[in-house]
Amino acid sequence: MKRILFFTFVFMLIIVSCKTLKVSKKEYTPIDLSEDISYSNHIKPIIENNCLTCHSGEFASANLTLEKYEEVIAAIKNDGLLNRINNHEKPMPTSGLMPKNARMTFQKWADNDFLKVSENPVKQTEEENFVFNPPTINAVDIEKNGFEFMNKIQGHWTGKMFLLGQKLPWFSFDFRAINTSQVHGMFEGGSMGNLFNTFFVGEFKGTKTIMLRNGGILSGIYRTSYFVLTEANENEYLFVDAYGGKDIMWVKIKFGHDKMNMTTYTSKFGSVKSSRHMEFEGKLQNEDLAQQAAEKFNYPTKTVFKSFPNGMPKPDWGKEYETVTSASYMMMADSSMDYETLGKWAQDPIQISDLENIARLNLVFERDDLSRDKNISVYLSREPLTDSNDKMKMEYDYISMKAMNQVILFPQINKNQKQFELTYLHTGKCYITFVVDNNKDMVPNKGDFYSKSIELNLNSETIQKLSVNMIDKSM
């Protein structure tokens, strides 16, 4: 069976790992296949540039890490690596086959018994100095045009997601006002990203406009990226990187009748030609929560939440990465740092404490129920997923679609994880249900373990704590 761990790959508008941040030369330089092919000189750089965004860290795609010499060899011997990098139908990387020379380099390396280091160091080719001239960004003036976007984006959207070459059958975004000129949505396709999109009224170089802040913590990296609205037609809105412009990355949102389509393109900070990163198409399911929030916060108004009179402050990516191409603020997370500290170190212009009316929930996994040694999917939903007898709401052998469409967030907790803090949550009532997805098909269905749904009342003042020790039912 295919080991697609649909939730194990991480999800963000852009996938960034510090390892791939390096702005490399755009063109691939072919390797001279007549020389000794070694891991350190040839294979490792190709893997760093093409594979590690997905195949590294705790939440590596397909649970496959390719960070070490031994791991790459094991992947060739056991996981069909050579087949996958040459497979037009199911290519690795998922975005399409690498140049033939790069693929042959792997073959030659394998044929020659996986030389680790070569006696002959490769001549260092001179890296061209990469100069980046940011474009002028002309923000849409919402006093004239485009402000209706803030109304349209609100709501709970559920639908299909295309992400990094894969189609996910179910996904959702839940956008609700968190103050008078800001709408916020969490989304989560797995792991512990705590990822969010927040649209707010900002002032960008003297123009009152709509900006997007996107980010979270993913694979141990704190990142937020900022976008500015540069095109607004009645049904189509374009947000571009607030420093590097459209060439670096962009997000387009289209509205149809009760439908929303969100497409994002990224160039990995200018290191590759920009390509589609994700596409979501959803239907507006439940407007009530968004409506309540809008009423509560007198949303939407044109009150400026944050001003950037001179554009975005230039991020500091450290000495190693002198060329900054994007309004993205980053910091390697280590477990001793909390969100506040990370945000400060990343020099993020908006800190988590600047966001009002968001909640946090601390989950502690006891692991002495049916979840021992298993990953846990956490479902936050508007309505309970279990009925009055604490049984999962089902249709045939699956969770009913009606119940599934109540889900607003669904992070996955790794089997070794003992604790996890959900941040950036909406306040108010919701339900939480824990599922162990035994057959790894991403949907609660027959054979999976689960807990009854518990009601939560989240507020922005206290961090609630929940001890998870009630996954005791079988579907």
> Would you tell me which residues interact with ligand HEC (CB under 6 A)?
3-4, 9, 50-51, 53-55, 61-62, 64, 75, 79-81, 84-85, 90, 92-94, 164, 166
Rounded to a whole number of angstroms, the minimum distance from the CB of residue 83 to ligand HEC is 8
- 99 or 428, CB closer to ligand HEC? 99
Rounded to a whole number of angstroms, the minimum distance from the CB of residue 277 to ligand HEC is 9
Q: How far is C-alpha 380 from the geometric centre of its chain's CA atoms? A: 18
Amino acid identity at 96: G
Rounded to a whole number of angstroms, the minimum distance from the CB of residue 100 to ligand HEC is 13
> Other C-beta atoms within 10 Å of 127: how many?
10
- 275 or 467, CB closer to ligand HEC? 275
C-alpha separations of 97 from 43, 51, 54, 101, 235 in Å: 16, 12, 15, 11, 35
How many whole angstroms separate alpha carbon 244 and alpha carbon 270? 9
How many whole angstroms separate alpha carbon 414 and alpha carbon 371? 10
Residue whose pair of structure tokens reads 């965004």 in the numeric block: 53
- 27 or 397, CB closer to ligand HEC? 27
Give the tokens for residue 125.
Answer: 């080719």
- 271 or 347, CB closer to ligand HEC? 271
- 95 or 286, CB closer to ligand HEC? 95
Rounded to a whole number of angstroms, the minimum distance from the CB of residue 249 to ligand HEC is 15
Rounded to a whole number of angstroms, the minimum distance from the CB of residue 193 to ligand HEC is 15
Rounded to a whole number of angstroms, the minimum distance from the CB of residue 459 to ligand HEC is 37
- 51 or 355, CB closer to ligand HEC? 51
- 144 or 167, CB closer to ligand HEC? 167
Give the tokens for residue 403.
Answer: 């119940």
C-alpha separations of 320 from 57, 109, 347 in Å: 21, 30, 17
251 neighbors 230 (Cβ within 8 angstroms): no
Rounded to a whole number of angstroms, the minimum distance from the CB of residue 79 to ligand HEC is 4
Amino acid identity at 468: V
> Closest Cα partner for 433 from 396, 393, 373?
393
Give the tokens for residue 201.
Answer: 């009224």
> Closest Cα partner for 301 from 153, 184, 143, 175?
143
C-alpha separations of 147 from 175, 233, 257 in Å: 16, 11, 19
